[in-house]
Structure 1
């Protein structure tokens, strides 16, 4: 019975997110980064236990640069995605719907496109889905590596930052729109 339960759990974990676990993304900053299967779980971090998010930056899809300092003072939803990832194809348009509702309330969204073979594939996906929030093109996963203390190596993963730039929630696997809205409402209420 236990063996069946463990087998079922392992199968569920593999199906929960996109993975190319055997493929490593080599980085030049002293390490190796692997993308692993996500779990359909989220962790909300209590206000008193939140740690500052690392600083990061990169080149945006379509041109330009981005620095994490641009998020200062706003709640931020950071979503690690790939056009090759089936759960991302479901989740990303839902993120756009949430973004359209909250962008005027001090909430920023930023996509982090990882492990993509071509910037053109990523841009085509963004264009076809009508995604209005920016995405960093990060094929080597360097931003995810900056978040190595959080499980950003699963695709999709979502990290939510509070207004102080602290990690307030971490989701591995696809995030339901209702869960994301509830988390954002909670963070917006913290500022009231």
Structure 2
């Protein structure tokens, strides 16, 4: 039994009514089941026991165009980081699992910066920037985050790919700009390294 504010369970992202109806994309807020695969029957990805899904290099699809403004109002385009491993983390300041994983993302982002890794956040479902900005300060997050309150950027991921489907979600793009890995659960530093280290090592 729970009292007070009802827990948030599911969100339907609405970029525009027609687009949302066509895409029919639903995000699970603060999801905890890492074994929920998604994206269609011909996606070529494998989900490991830790909830990390990966795609063989030959089967990866191009990441969508992801550009917009950051929480501090600066322009940001993921395409500018081609040649680096890009770690995209979908988060909200109101999300408990996001708070739990944030310190690990801050730590690993610093550890891997010299290895050609760029972390980028996608802040979503925060109607105002204030709570999200405070979230980053509280967790010593220094990498940029898109401000994407209604999930427009998330809707750009094509069906059949390792698209983000939960909050939090983490998607990793390889050095060639292709979607290589995804998880739909919160990560600690060990699991985060397990997800990105093989991509750092790729030639």
Rounded Cα–Cα distance in structure 1 between residues aligned with 2:102 and 2:55: 23
- The 5-angstrom pairing of residues 13-28 of structure 1 reads 19-21=8-10, 23-28=11-16
Residue 52 of structure 2 corresponds to which residue in structure 1? Answer: 42
Rounded Cα–Cα distance in structure 2 between residues aligned with 1:30 and 1:142: 10
- Per-residue deviation, 1:148: 4.6
Match of 1:31 among 10, 15, 20: 20
- Per-residue deviation, 1:19: 4.9
Residue 102 of structure 1 corresponds to which residue in structure 2? Answer: 112
Corresponding residue SS for 1:70: helix
- Per-residue deviation, 1:130: 1.1
- Per-residue deviation, 1:34: 3.0
- Per-residue deviation, 1:104: 1.3
Q: Which moved more, 1:62-71 or 1:99-108?
A: 62-71
Rounded Cα–Cα distance in structure 2 between residues aligned with 1:176 and 1:148: 27
1:107-153 residue CA offsets vs partner (Å, 9 max, x unmatched)? 00000001112111100111111101100000010111112533413
Rounded Cα–Cα distance in structure 2 between residues aligned with 1:151 and 1:185: 20
- Per-residue deviation, 1:55: 0.9
Rounded Cα–Cα distance in structure 2 between residues aligned with 1:73 and 1:105: 11
Structure 1 outlier segments of 4+, above 4 Å: none
Task: Structure 2: give runs of 5+ residues left out of the alignment.
Answer: 1-6, 35-50
Residue 94 of structure 2 corresponds to which residue in structure 1? Answer: 84
TM-score normalised to the size of structure 2? Answer: 0.79
- Per-residue deviation, 1:48: 1.4
- The 5-angstrom pairing of residues 124-143 of structure 1 reads 124-143=134-153
Rounded Cα–Cα distance in structure 1 between residues aligned with 2:173 and 2:136: 23
- Per-residue deviation, 1:161: 0.8
Match of 2:193 among 157, 178, 181: 181
- The 5-angstrom pairing of residues 143-154 of structure 1 reads 143-149=153-159, 150-154=162-166
Rounded Cα–Cα distance in structure 1 between residues aligned with 2:115 and 2:13: 36
2:150 is equivalent to residue 161 of structure 1: no
TM-score normalised to the size of structure 1? Answer: 0.84
Task: Structure 1: give runs of 5+ residues left out of the alignment.
Answer: 1-17
Alpha-carbon contact 2:87-2:120 (below 8 Å) kept = yes
